[in-house]
Amino acid sequence: MASQDQLHIVMVPWLAFGHLNPFLELSKSLANMGHRISFISTPRNIQRLLPNLSSNLSSSSLISFVSLPLPKDDNLHDQAEATIDLPAEEVPYLKRAYDGLEGPVSSFLETSRPDWIIYDFAPYWLPAIASRLEIPCCFFTTFNASVNCFFGPPSSFWESGEDDSSGTKKPRDLTVPPSWIPFPSNLAFRNYEFGKVFGTVEIKLSGVTDGHRISSAINGCEIMAIRSCMEVESEFLGLFENLFKKQVIPVGLLPPPPSPEDENHEAWGRMKEWLDRQEQASVVYIALGTEAAFSREEITELALGLELSKLRFFWVLRDPPSTLPEGFEERTRGNGFMCFSWAPQMRILGHPSVGGSLNHCGWSSVIEALGVGCPLILLPMACDQPLVARFLAWKEMGLEVERKEEDGSFTRESIAKALRRVMADEDGEKYRVRARELKQVFGNKLLNDGYVERFSHYLKENKRQQTS
C-alpha cells in the first residue's frame, strides 16, 4: 500500500476477552491491508494476546501494543486486569479502574494524532476526547445485530446516565419481542433468565451505568462497525441502522485462525491422538465459556446427560474434577476426554471426529463452531447469550436444550435428548445440513475479508483531515 493510503488506527477495547479477541482480529485484518495499528490495553492482557499474533504474520510489524497500567482499586487484586480474572460481582470495580485510563489514553492520542479511533462500549469518555482532538471515531460492537436491535437505540432503552436506577427497563418488559422489531421474531428473555442476565447489573459501584456507557459510545461516534454480515442477519442489520440513525458497517465475522503454537503444544498432541481414534463426526465438544458459573447440580446433570446420551465427548471443564459426579470419569473412560485446563478450541472443533458443539452461545464461540461446519447444541447462561440462542434457533442454526420455565434448570434427560437429536437422530439432520451450509459463510475467508476491505475503504475516504 502506498504511504499516503496507510492509516494510523487506535484500538480501545474493553477488558474482556470476548471483546479483546475480536478487536485483535479486526486489527490483524486491517494491518494486512497495510494500516498501522496501535492497540491499547493493560500489561497482563497484552501478554495473553501476544500468542494470537503469529510471528510469521506479514502484518505483525504494523501492530503495536500500547501498554497502560490499570489504575489501582482497593477492591481488585493485583493480577485482575480482565473479567476472566474475577467473579461477576467484582466487574464493576474493574470498570471503575478502567475509567482511570482516561488520562493516559488522552495523552497518547494527543501525541500520536491517529487518523481513526475504534473503540468499545466501556470508554464512554472517549468520544469527547476525540472531538476535542478532531479525530474521527468508530464504535465497534462485538455483539451481533439481533442483540443490538433487541435493546434498541439509546432513547428507547438506556434512558439515564449517571448513578441512579432508571438506566434500564424493568426486566419484565423484556420477555416479549420489542415493538420496534417490525417482523416476526422470537427474541425475548425468559423469566428464569432475569437473575443471571440482570442480577449482576451494577449502578452504584462503578459510578456509571452500562446504559450511559453504551449511549455515550453510540451518540459520540461518526459510524458504527459490527461483527456480522448480510449473509447471516440481513434483516437485523438493516433494522440496526434504521433504529440507531447512524451508518452501520459490517466488518464480517472475523473468524480466528488456529494459533500456530497449538500444533506443537504437548497437550494438543495427547488430545489429537485421542481424537484421531474416534469415528468421523462422532464426538460432541463441550466448552461453555471461561466466565460462566455453573452450580455443582448443573455440572452433575450435564455429566449424567453426556453419559445417558452414549455419545463420545470431549469436555473442557474449568472446575476441578471433584465437582463431577462420583464414578463419572471411571464409567466414561475411553468414551470421553476430560480436559481441566487449556485446550486449543479451534483445532478441536476442526478435527474430523467432532460432529457437534454444546455451546454457551457466546458470539465468538458460535462463529468458531459454524466456521468449521460444526452443528450447535445451545445452552445459554448469561448476558447476551439467551438472545443469541433465540436468534440461532429462529434461523435453525442450532437446537436449544429444554429447561424448566420456573427456574431454568435442565435435566440429564434434556441434555441427552438435545445431544442425540443434533448428533445422531434422523430428525436432527436439518441441523447437520445447516451447519455444513453455514460453513460457506462463517468460514469463508474471502467473503469475510471483503467486508473488512470495504470498511478499510470507508476509513481511508473519511480519515482525519491533516491541519497545517
Q: Is the pLDDT of residue 448 over 80?
A: yes
| Local confidence band at 262 (pLDDT 50, 70, 90 cut-offs) | low
Q: Is the pLDDT of residue 253 over 60?
A: yes
The reply to whether 463 falls in a domain is no
pLDDT recorded at residue 260: 63
Q: Is the pLDDT of residue 467 over 70?
A: no
The reply to whether 456 falls in a domain is no
Domain co-membership, 277 together with 351: yes
Domain co-membership, 236 together with 369: no
The reply to whether 38 falls in a domain is yes
First to last CA, the chain: 24
Domain co-membership, 413 together with 309: yes
Average of pLDDT values for 412-424? 97
Domain co-membership, 169 together with 317: no
Q: Is the pLDDT of residue 367 over 80?
A: yes
Domain's final residue, options 209, 238, 254 = 254
Average of pLDDT values for 48-64? 78
Q: Is the pLDDT of residue 296 over 60?
A: yes
Domain co-membership, 215 together with 242: yes
The reply to whether 279 falls in a domain is yes
Alpha-carbon gap, residue 139 to 119, rounded angstroms: 5
The reply to whether 2 falls in a domain is no
Lowest mean pLDDT among 3-17, 161-175, 219-233, 263-277: 161-175
Domain's final residue, options 233, 254, 275 = 254
Q: Is the pLDDT of residue 248 over 50?
A: yes
The reply to whether 280 falls in a domain is yes
Domain co-membership, 151 together with 269: no
Lowest mean pLDDT among 103-117, 142-156, 197-211: 197-211
- Of 27, 237, 22, 28, nearest to 149 (Cα)? 237
| Local confidence band at 197 (pLDDT 50, 70, 90 cut-offs) | low
Q: Is the pLDDT of residue 27 over 70?
A: yes
Domain limits at 383? 260-443
Alpha-carbon gap, residue 125 to 131, rounded angstroms: 11
Domain co-membership, 239 together with 338: no
Domain co-membership, 241 together with 338: no
| Local confidence band at 137 (pLDDT 50, 70, 90 cut-offs) | very high
Alpha-carbon gap, residue 350 to 255, rounded angstroms: 13
| Local confidence band at 162 (pLDDT 50, 70, 90 cut-offs) | very low
DSSP-derived secondary structure for 175-212: SS--TT--S-------GGGHHHHHTT--STTTSS-HHH
Average of pLDDT values for 198-225? 79
| Local confidence band at 171 (pLDDT 50, 70, 90 cut-offs) | low
The reply to whether 459 falls in a domain is no
| Local confidence band at 159 (pLDDT 50, 70, 90 cut-offs) | very low
Average of pLDDT values for 204-213? 78
Average of pLDDT values for 198-204? 51
pLDDT recorded at residue 261: 60
pLDDT recorded at residue 52: 81
Domain's final residue, options 254, 284, 309 = 254
Q: Is the pLDDT of residue 68 over 80?
A: yes
| Local confidence band at 163 (pLDDT 50, 70, 90 cut-offs) | very low
Domain co-membership, 238 together with 351: no
Q: Is the pLDDT of residue 378 over 60?
A: yes
pLDDT digits (tens, 9 = 90+) for 316-366: 998 888 899 999 999 999 899 999 988 899 999 999 999 999 999 999 999
Domain co-membership, 249 together with 283: no
Domain co-membership, 41 together with 82: yes
pLDDT digits (tens, 9 = 90+) for 302-311: 999 999 999 9
Domain co-membership, 238 together with 264: no
pLDDT recorded at residue 322: 87
The reply to whether 1 falls in a domain is no
Domain with 341 in it: what CATH number?
3.40.50.2000
Partners of 314 in the beta sheet?
285, 337
User: And the C-alpha cell for 363?
Assistant: 458470539
Average of pLDDT values for 408-412? 95
Overall domain count for the chain: 2
Lowest mean pLDDT among 194-208, 278-292, 410-424, 434-448: 194-208
Average of pLDDT values for 260-274? 79
Per the prediction, the chain carries an average pLDDT of 89
pLDDT digits (tens, 9 = 90+) for 4-20: 789 999 999 999 999 99
DSSP-derived secondary structure for 205-254: TTSS-HHHHHHHHHHT-SEEEES--HHHHHHHHHHHHHHHTSEEEE----
- Of 138, 106, 95, nearest to 7 (Cα)? 138
3-class secondary structure, 14: coil
